[in-house]
Structure 1
Amino acid sequence: MNNAILRHNCAQAWLAQFEEGDRSAAEKLLALVTLISSDEFRSGLTALLEDRLEAGPQPIALYNEVERRHWKGVPNRLFKEPRRKIKRACGRSGPSLMPRQRSIDEEVGSEGVVANILTQFQRNRKQRISLSPGPDIIRERHIRRFVLVTDFIGSGKRACSFLDAAWRVRSVRSWWSRRARSGWSFEVVAFAGLPSGIAEVRRHRCQPRVTVRVIAPTIRSTFLPSEARILEDLCHRYPTGVVSPLGYDDGAALIAFAHSMPNNAPAVFWSQAKGWRALFPARTTTGTETPFEAGLDAAAIQERLGAASGLISYAKGEAHISIEVIVLSALRRSPRSVDAISGRLGLDRAKVNAVLNELRKLEWISESNQITERGRLVLKRLQDAGEPKLLPRSDPGLYFPKSLRALRNV
């Protein structure tokens, strides 16, 4: 368990709201939340963008996923189309990197953090990247790749809405129709995402390529079905009066970023309904009264991974266990794909891939990620080492019978 978080004063006050019988389940739920620091988020998203930049023709067009305005349930077009017979999109600038302020005290969410990263990333690569270009720039520079960037794919509806806004433009559909030769292609890049949301974006009619660094863990992907039912029931009972106890679209995501916690996370962490003292009020993770920073050191991350993998000895905090053994332990139950292990542990997909390759070299797993006999032996030794060995009680004194029986057959 991530004891660094559990020892925080704010976490203790949050746990005190639960009934005594529910407190251990609440501790387990909190200890297995994946925390992403600002440095990890920035470096991870930048690395993803560098990989995608080198993966195809250049230059590329980068767009920040911001909320699109709708009219009668349909998102407004991404580019301007003149009112004439030939609907040819025009304009040198595309959608703003940041939503325009239309009211006093209008809030800026994660799109502000992503916008800053995109700006920094583009400054030294201006010949290869256009930041939110319009149709005229796209034609002028012969841009053939539309890359939408976001921090998190939850339900996938927001990303699909942005793609719908582009798809409504006739010129965009015309460029896309020539994708087999030199046409337009769509991509979505996100630091993390839920499997259901990623699948939703991939089903969009523009057939985008979706790339994420981390598959976000959920209650059902991290815990066994019996444990998951207990924790989901806990989220439904605390706090009362919440419309979506498991988060938006029942995501039940166990992840938090340095800039915010997604609304797909269980409401027990961020809701303030009926006087509930939230751990991350209004989904904010910054401030002196948040346990976020308490769980970002290497030891705390290693503790969380060990607990998520289900290692008995590690949950007791008795020994340091390598990342290879943690991934090996997570392979004890299906599914065993890279995405499944990433979602189970909240670990980088690239890191999971590298560890799986190392486990194959050690002959601890097969090519299909099944644990071999050698791998089972490693886990058995680890489990035996963590279990206490009970010795029989011995009495150093002499033995004296307390009752006598008559001899038989004498």
Structure 2
Amino acid sequence: MLPLKEQEKTKLWLSQFDNTPADRQLAEKLLDSINYCPLSEFKNSLTKLVKGELPLKSTSALFIERELQPTTAKLPPPTYKQIKTYNPRSKKKHIRAYGAAMQAVQSLTYTTQDVGSEGLVAFIANTLCRSNPKRFLLQPAADNVRNSKVRNFVILTDFIGSGDRASKMLDAMWNVASIRSWHSGKFVNFWVMAYSGTEQGIKHVCGHRFSPKVHVVTECPTLHNSFDSDLDEMVELCKKYGAHSANPLGWKNTAALLAFEHGAPNNMPAIFVSEKNRGSKKWAPLFPKRVTEGLWQSTQVDITNLIDNALNQLNMPEILESPRFQRASDQNKSAIIILLSHSQGKRRVAELRRVLPISLDSLISAKNRAIKQGWITETGALTLAGYKAIRFLRRQGRKFFVAPYPFAPYYPTQLRAPQ
């Protein structure tokens, strides 16, 4: 199977960067920085996050994040309907939530029923609730919330981009007097959980008046945190070729470099997801209508080749000949690559993925394995055991390593300059 940038469709997309030869090179580098999340890993990671972070001995209500119907009111429509009821204890009428919650999946257009990522997230949440009916409830009715003594209101989503949708979902809950009362009495806690999220989006959600706890599986690589010296050139590239869109860097200038198998978020730069059909200069995006599945299945490559290329890129090809390295599983080899990358100062997700272009979930798993082995700390600093492991692998590999051109002239580079 061909890698992404070697596919015919990708080559056609790259051919559009034709103003200067440098633009084509920048576009290829930008393409290599995109992180992909397979469907299976998305399901497993989100399920593991929900089970691992939410309290075991309390009931949680899972709500699916989706786009809400726009209104002229200050707040979106409430999550539950409300009715005035007489309370004999206070001898006053109070507004009380009743009936079913808003639908988990609902299309806002009726000419064509369009369902986004909320359909997949709802399926994952429904599976969770069926397997753990006492611990999880999927958008329960108001009476069910009271009878089951729900203590956690959880909003589930695949991606927190700008944070607008999650905040509006929280606003819809705030618009229910009963939920405000439960919050005031500290009966319920609020959570927002996603596979990934940008720093600005997470900060926006955390600032909501409910003060929700936000948890993601992994940070989101963006244009802003994936490049250093060439950041300005990348931004200029996206603005120049994405000028046909009102948001050339994606919604709220997020510039996310993350695509799921089930679709690309609208926070990606416009050159990836926005089409231009009119005018002399047309533009065909790599992910038209944010569909990624066609390219996704053909991007899988042999992990052995990826590890070989990673060691060559790190300038440590001799480690391939180490018997200890050869006996290691693919997971342990990936963890060693993470260790070697950290030793050279490559600690960010985008840098790690350029060295070892595997999925985010696999990268996280490899890093966690390196931490468990005691090679690196949680913050990414090398430990004494990590330095020892590198020295051992290199020393062992040099015994069996043969240079590609053993009879090539030798020129020393480590001699001291003449005094």
SS at match of 1:74: coil
**Matched positions, count:** 374
| TM-score normalised to structure 1 length | 0.79
TM-superposed deviation, 1:335: 10
TM-superposed deviation, 1:47: 1.7
Measured against aligned partners, the alpha-carbon deviations of 1:129-148 in whole angstroms (never above 9, x if no partner) come to 22101321111111111111
TM-superposed deviation, 1:372: 5.8
Q: Alpha carbon RMSD of aligned pairs, Å?
A: 3.7
1:14-25 mapped onto 2 (5 Å cutoff): 14-19=13-18, 20-25=21-26
CA–CA distance in structure 1, aligned partners of residues 164 and 250 of structure 2: 14
Q: Which residue of 1 aligns with 2:216?
A: 212
Q: Which residue of 1 aligns with 2:144?
A: 137
Percent identity (aligned): 30
1:153–1:194: 8 Å Cα contact kept in structure 2? yes
Query: What code does the residue aligned with 1:22 have?
Result: D
1:4–1:300: 8 Å Cα contact kept in structure 2? no
Query: What code does the residue aligned with 1:10 have?
Result: K
The 1:332–1:314 alpha-carbon spacing in structure 2 relative to 1, beyond 3 Å, is closer
SS at match of 2:256: coil
The 1:204–1:186 alpha-carbon spacing in structure 2 relative to 1, beyond 3 Å, is same
Query: What code does the residue aligned with 1:88 have?
Result: I
Q: Which residue of 1 aligns with 2:40?
A: 39
1:243-282 mapped onto 2 (5 Å cutoff): 243-273=246-276, 274=278, 275-282=282-289
SS at match of 1:96: coil
1:179-258 mapped onto 2 (5 Å cutoff): 179=186, 183-223=187-227, 225-258=228-261
CA–CA distance in structure 1, aligned partners of residues 246 and 352 of structure 2: 26
Q: Which runs of 5+ in 1 are unaligned?
A: 395-410
1:347 aligns with 2:360: yes
Q: Which residue of 1 aligns with 2:53?
A: 52
SS at match of 2:230: helix
The 1:170–1:209 alpha-carbon spacing in structure 2 relative to 1, beyond 3 Å, is same
Measured against aligned partners, the alpha-carbon deviations of 1:348-389 in whole angstroms (never above 9, x if no partner) come to 486366245246x24xx467533468867949969x99x999
1:80 aligns with 2:81: yes
1:305–1:326: 8 Å Cα contact kept in structure 2? no
2:259–2:265: 8 Å Cα contact kept in structure 1? yes
Q: Which residue of 2 aligns with 1:11?
A: 10
CA–CA distance in structure 2, aligned partners of residues 82 and 52 of structure 1: 34
1:311–1:326: 8 Å Cα contact kept in structure 2? no
Q: Which moved more, 1:123-132 or 1:84-93?
A: 84-93
Q: Which residue of 2 aligns with 1:324?
A: 335
TM-superposed deviation, 1:123: 1.7
2:104–2:122: 8 Å Cα contact kept in structure 1? yes
Measured against aligned partners, the alpha-carbon deviations of 1:53-82 in whole angstroms (never above 9, x if no partner) come to 4x3432211111111224324211111222
Measured against aligned partners, the alpha-carbon deviations of 1:175-216 in whole angstroms (never above 9, x if no partner) come to 11222xxx1101111111112211211121111111111212
2:80–2:142: 8 Å Cα contact kept in structure 1? yes
CA–CA distance in structure 2, aligned partners of residues 331 and 98 of structure 1: 42
TM-superposed deviation, 1:257: 0.8
Q: Which runs of 5+ in 2 are unaligned?
A: 86-91, 322-329, 354-358, 412-419
Query: What code does the residue aligned with 1:351 have?
Result: S
Q: Which residue of 1 aligns with 2:296?
A: 292
1:81–1:87: 8 Å Cα contact kept in structure 2? no
Query: What code does the residue aligned with 2:205 have?
Result: V
Q: Which residue of 2 aligns with 1:167?
A: 174
Q: Which moved more, 1:97-106 or 1:31-40?
A: 97-106
SS at match of 1:75: coil
Measured against aligned partners, the alpha-carbon deviations of 1:124-176 in whole angstroms (never above 9, x if no partner) come to 22232221013211111111111111111101111011001101222111111
CA–CA distance in structure 1, aligned partners of residues 7 and 289 of structure 2: 19
Q: Which moved more, 1:349-358 or 1:28-37?
A: 349-358
